[in-house]
Amino acid sequence: MKEELDTYSTREKNLWFEYLTDIAVALYYWPNAIRLMLAGDEALRGGAMVGLITSTVIVAIVVSGALSIFLHAKQKPEPKDERDYIIEARASLWSARVLVAGMLSIMGNIVVQEMIGEQAVGRVLFALSPLLIAHLMLVTLMVASLVGTSVKLYLYRKGV
């Protein structure tokens, strides 16, 4: 395992650090947030939501600290070169595409919900309340970030 880690640049290790932290936080946050969403808007506005946000921040700090100690053993950052800028540009493009697609989907659902009217909203799977819209936007941001990091990792390993 140590020999394999030595084949990664510091930048790649940092990307893995970011990726693993995002996944750990998502795996902690989203099952609990979905449970609260299913309990209704009152649960999302109460102390349970505050507790979830607080504990999520604590989980993020603990995971970041543990991964930082593991991945950053006496390594200095490398200066960026042209390849790094190309990889960042391509990853940003893919991340932006996912973000735009997600936001357009959310906006489209809001428009459709408004067009079908109040009486038909009860017949759809779930009504888009402001809190649910905020969570969907958060999901979109998280997925866009994961896509950007994934593209960077892929391009560093593949080579540009």
Assess whether pLDDT exceeds 80 at residue 12.
Answer: yes
Question: Which of the pair, 154 or 138, is modelled with greater confidence?
Answer: 154
The letter for the amino acid at 17 is F
pLDDT in tens, 27-59: 988 898 888 878 876 776 777 877 888 888 888
Residue 1: pLDDT band (50, 70, 90) is low
* Spatial CA neighbour of 18 closest among 147, 159, 160: 147
The pLDDT-based confidence of 155 (bands split at 50, 70, 90) is very high
Mean pLDDT of the chain: 82
pLDDT, residue 76, reads: 67
pTM for this one? Answer: 0.76
**pLDDT tens sequence across 54-103:** 888 888 888 888 877 776 655 666 788 899 999 999 999 999 999 999 99
Q: Is the pLDDT of residue 137 over 80?
A: yes
117: left (phi over 0), alpha (psi -120 to 50) or beta: left
**Amino acid 15: pLDDT:** 87
Model pLDDT, residue 2: 55
DSSP state of 123: T
| Range with the poorest average pLDDT among 94-108, 118-132, 140-154 | 118-132
Name which of 137, 138, 155, 21 is nearest 94 in CA terms: 155
